[in-house]
């Protein structure tokens, strides 16, 4: 049953009122929410919007007075003006002109009709409207609840919600993944704009967006209910959001049950004990198929929100991933797939505006079978440490994307890296500090260009002889032969350790 709504045009269809349309038939679709009678020249302060304003025009003294009165009604959002000409003879042209100018519908009240009759009739209609709204809302609620009671999932619930709201609906993860509903152009952009908006429900790109998160959950890993249109039925949308939240709680609970296997597997991977092939088989995976290990950390040390976010990121690409926290790190193990790393990077980048000042770094191992998971975990850890040193709110570093020496250096504690750098380059670092030179920079370019005098000199914008002098000075300070390949390797690693 459709909810009853009283519009201006409905007033003209009430034979007992005998109202006559004078101005603004194109605006007669406006909704009437109340009645207000006034003889004040400027009633703006007493209007809140949607009123049918009744007036005998006792305030009318001049054309300017019509302008002030009509402008006040327009600015406050009055639905229409119903005026009686009983005391002024006929509705003045200045009033008609002012109402046209300010887009205020104008109705004429018969001289023998009391304002009390109009007020009483409108009050009856509004009372019926409230009853109708309540009945319609109850109908929406029952139909949506039936979907949940029948075991329908998020997709079925969104389909039913779209029918009730008469608008396309979607459930969107804050990682940009469309959980349910039709595809959405640029979902990542919509999520970013959602995090930037301030009020709820938020209107983003002509859609109404309501957040959905389980009680006590992180808004960072929340879902979003997206309804097309910026004027939706708030009560029905809120009801749909609450039911989607129930379905989300089921999904999160299901993940929690599945992730009970994550703890034992991760502990055996990190401790170096146990039969990993059997443990992987117990999870339901083929021990010979490639897996990836993810290691993640947050700058504020909170693992709960990061684990929830990582589970949401992995949901569309690895729905059976195991995610768990061990100490101050969050770990995940999942079957590898196409475009896997880029999907993780994209999901985290989309959710980044919701992180606030927190930084999240993720290291992703290369694909490895069950027997190679311990090495994959070590690789993921080293990749994560490299990510922590990179700028940005989120950083995803994949093992196969970085050089072997970088992975080795990432596994060395920071204090030890600094000590090794000082031991190898100390005299040059001291010389630069004392003389304001940059022999370290010259050495870096020289080694980066494979020891080519021509290429390095061109990049440094110096003559080859100048470069030879500077490199010779480095060799003299270090007491080393820079033509020796092993010496060059040590110097290169020391430069990378900084």
Q: Residue 311, exposed/middle/buried by CB under 10 A (0-12, 13-18, 19+)?
A: buried
Residue with tokens 């080519």: 452
Residues 106 and 435: their CA atoms lie apart, in Å, by: 86
Q: How many CA atoms lie within 13 A of 314 on its CB side?
A: 27
Helices (H) and strands (E) in the chain, counts: 18, 15
Per-residue pLDDT of the chain (498 residues), as tens digits, is 344 578 999 899 888 899 999 999 999 989 898 899 998 999 988 888 889 999 999 898 889 999 999 999 999 999 999 999 876 678 999 999 999 999 999 999 998 888 888 888 887 777 665 554 555 555 666 777 777 767 778 899 899 888 888 888 999 998 888 999 998 888 888 888 887 765 555 666 778 888 886 544 556 677 888 888 765 556 778 878 888 887 887 888 777 777 776 777 777 877 766 678 888 887 788 888 899 899 999 988 888 888 888 888 888 888 888 888 887 888 888 888 767 888 888 888 888 887 778 899 999 988 888 888 888 888 888 888 888 888 888 998 887 776 555 555 555 566 666 777 787 788 888 888 888 888 888 888 888 888 889 898 888 898 989 989 998 988 889 888 888 887 787 787 777 766
Q: Report how far residue 109's alpha carbon sits from residue 486's, in angstroms, rounded to the nearest whole number.
A: 102
Q: Which of 229, 251, 232 is nearest to 157 (CA)?
A: 251
Rounded to an integer, what distance in angstroms lies between the CA atom of residue 136 and that of residue 236? 10
Average pLDDT score over the chain: 82
What pLDDT does residue 212 have?
A: 81
Return the half-sphere exposure (C-beta side, CA atoms, 13 A cut-off) of residue 447: 22
In this structure, are residues 332 and 362 in contact, taking their beta carbons and an 8 Å threshold?
A: no
What is the number of other CB atoms lying within 10 angstroms of the CB of residue 281? 14
């Amino acid at each position: 049953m459709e909810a009853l709504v009283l519009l201006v045009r409905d007033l003209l269809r009430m034979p007992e009122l005998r109202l006559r349309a004078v101005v603004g038939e194109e605006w007669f679709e406006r909704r009437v929410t109340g009645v207000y009678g006034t003889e004040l020249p400027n009633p703006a302060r007493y209007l809140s919007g949607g009123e049918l304003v009744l007036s005998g025009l006792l305030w009318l003294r001049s054309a300017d007075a019509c302008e002030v009165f009509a402008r006040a009604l327009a600015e406050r959002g009055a639905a229409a003006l119903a005026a009686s000409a009983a005391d002024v003879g006929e509705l003045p042209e200045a009033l008609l002109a002012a109402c046209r100018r300010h887009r205020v519908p104008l109705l004429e009240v018969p001289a023998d009709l009391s304002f009390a009759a109009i007020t009483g009739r409108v009050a009856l209609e509004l009372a019926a409207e409230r009853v109708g709204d309540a009945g319609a809302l109850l109908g929406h609620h029952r139909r949506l609840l039936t979907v949940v009671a029948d075991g329908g999932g998020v997709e079925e619930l969104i389909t039913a919600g779209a029918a009730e709201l008469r608008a396309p609906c979607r459930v969107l993860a804050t990682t940009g993944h469309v959980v349910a509903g039709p595809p959405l152009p640029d979902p990542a952009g919509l999520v970013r704009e959602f995090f930037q908006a301030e009020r709820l429900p938020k209107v983003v790109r002509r859609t109404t967006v309501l957040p959905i998160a389980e009680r006590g959950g992180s808004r960072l890993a929340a879902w979003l209910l997206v309804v097309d249109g910026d004027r939706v039925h708030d009560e029905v949308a809120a009801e749909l959001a609450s039911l989607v939240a129930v379905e989300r709680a089921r999904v999160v609970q299901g993940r929690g049950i599945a992730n009970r296997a994550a703890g034992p597997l991760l502990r055996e991977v990190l401790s170096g004990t146990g039969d990993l092939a059997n443990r992987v088989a117990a999870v339901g995976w083929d021990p010979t198929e490639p897996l990836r290990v993810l290691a993640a950390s947050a700058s504020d040390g909170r693992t709960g929100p990061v684990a929830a976010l990582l589970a949401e990121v992995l949901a569309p690409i690895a729905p059976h991933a195991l995610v768990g926290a061990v100490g101050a790190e969050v770990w995940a193990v999942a079957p590898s797939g196409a475009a896997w790393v880029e999907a993780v990077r994209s999901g985290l980048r989309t959710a980044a505006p919701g992180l606030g000042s927190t930084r999240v770094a993720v290291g992703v191992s290369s694909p490895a079978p069950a027997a190679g998971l311990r090495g994959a975990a070590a690789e993921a850890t080293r990749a994560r440490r490299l990510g922590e040193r990179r700028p940005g709110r989120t950083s995803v570093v994949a093992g196969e994307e970085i050089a072997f020496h970088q992975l080795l250096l990432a596994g060395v504690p920071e204090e030890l890296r600094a000590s090794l750098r000082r031991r190898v380059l100390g005299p040059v670092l001291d010389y630069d500090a004392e003389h304001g030179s940059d022999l370290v920079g010259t050495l870096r370019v020289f080694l980066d260009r494979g020891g080519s005098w021509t290429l390095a000199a061109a990049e440094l914008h110096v003559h080859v002889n100048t470069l030879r002098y500077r490199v010779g000075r480095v060799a003299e300070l270090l007491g080393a032969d820079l033509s020796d390949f092993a010496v060059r390797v040590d110097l290169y690693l020391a430069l990378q350790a900084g």
